Structure 1
Amino acid sequence: MPRRFLQRYMPHPDTLRRQRSLRFMSHLIGNPSLWVLSRRSVANAFSVGLFSAMLPIPFQMVVAAFGAWLTRCNLPLSVGLVWITNPLTMPLIFYGNYRLGAWLMDIPARQAPSRLSTRWVAEQMADILPALAVGSVVSALVIAILGNVTIRLIWRWQVSRSWKQRSRRRHRRRCHEQDP
């Protein structure tokens, strides 16, 4: 079942609350409704986390935590999913978002230089920013919706599979008990 799988890898709220760097958020971390693992809370956590991950902003984890608090979804999952855009994947994802935004805005996209640097990005920021913002928001919305629907379908499939397995086991037990 998805719940057992997720519980295996989730930190315990008390462990996080005791961390000195997170004490200012102890009231948020201690809220039991933000640690529930249900189909709705996990699917919504995927939406919040994936949406936050696609935004080219600093402090994505704070945005994801605030989104989890607003939507009452699973806090650690939404914050953890932000790491899809890590230092290795971020340039590719945000360049893809920029290209998507340029295509949607019908403007020619700039080619990435052979050697990407922060200086080049800073010099091009005025031209890049509108397309990057549009592309990031559109991709964030699409990925958040797809993530939510996918998790709900996977959860439903797992529950259905589990019920069928239990039904087969009960049927086998009944057949075994009736045999002399």
Structure 2
Amino acid sequence: MIRYLKLKMHKIGRATKRSVFLNKYFPKFNDRIYWAGDRFSFARAGFIGSFSMMLPIPFQMVLGSVLAYYFRANIPLATALAWITNPLTMWPIWYGGYVFGTWILGTPDLFEASAHITIGSQLWFDEIFPLIWKPFYIGNMLLGTIIGSFMYISIAHFHWASIIGLLRRPFIKN
């Protein structure tokens, strides 16, 4: 089973590298830094993926991949981190960003006050959205920057190899 998955991954990788569209619009796409990379390529991908994960926009994965290309970061890691916000997790994550934005801006949380209005209705867009858009976007962008910075620092400046080496040592018996 593992051998089958490895063969499928290589087949997908070869097809991706031979893509006419990608090679035409992204000429350096086959560069090793985007797929294997080094510690700083992974660190940049950690920031980009975490930041784009928190943005309340559609197609975060595409944005993360394109930003990873232009900032020479690891594309698979940036794309995978952007997948953290999926249809099941986006609502609690974005609500947390909204609450953080209300705390930063000092505005009241209108979630309880607007519980009787259906989200996405015309009345909601006319009455509630003009009041919540600023804390919603600012809170999510700030949290994305904070989480992304934490990811960058932890990947770039924390030597994972030494920790893994310590974990693989046999226990010393007394």
Normalised by the length of structure 1, the TM-score is 0.71
Deviations 1:126-173, CA, capped at 9 Å, x for gaps: 21111111101110110001111222355x14246539979x9xxxxx
Cross-structure match for 1:80:
80
Cross-structure match for 2:136:
132
Establish whether residue 162 from structure 1 lines up as the match of residue 159 from structure 2. no
- CA RMSD of superposed structures (Å): 2.9
How many correspondences in the alignment?
154
Normalised by the length of structure 2, the TM-score is 0.74
**Runs (5+) with no aligned partner, structure 1:** 1-7, 169-180
Distance in structure 1 (CA, Å) of the matches to 2:70 and 2:79: 13
1:36–1:73 Cα contact (<8 Å) kept: no
Aligned to 2:83, the other structure's residue is in SS state helix
Distance in structure 2 (CA, Å) of the matches to 1:18 and 1:115: 51
Select the residue among 147, 150, 154 that pairs with 1:150: 154
Larger radius of gyration: 1
2:117–2:124 Cα contact (<8 Å) kept: no
Deviates more, 1:104-113 or 1:73-82: 104-113
Deviations 1:20-75, CA, capped at 9 Å, x for gaps: xxx52245342333113321111111110000010011121222122112221101
Aligned to 1:109, the other structure's residue is in SS state coil
**Runs (5+) with no aligned partner, structure 2:** 1-5
Distance in structure 2 (CA, Å) of the matches to 1:64 and 1:108: 32
Select the residue among 115, 118, 121 that pairs with 2:120: 118
Q: CA deviation at 1:115?
A: 8.9
Percent identity, aligned pairs only, is: 31
Residue identity in the other structure for 1:127: L
Higher helix share: 1
Distance in structure 1 (CA, Å) of the matches to 2:96 and 2:78: 22
Q: CA deviation at 1:78?
A: 0.5
1:52–1:63 Cα contact (<8 Å) kept: yes
Deviations 1:60-119, CA, capped at 9 Å, x for gaps: 122212211222110111012101110001000111111111111111011253897433
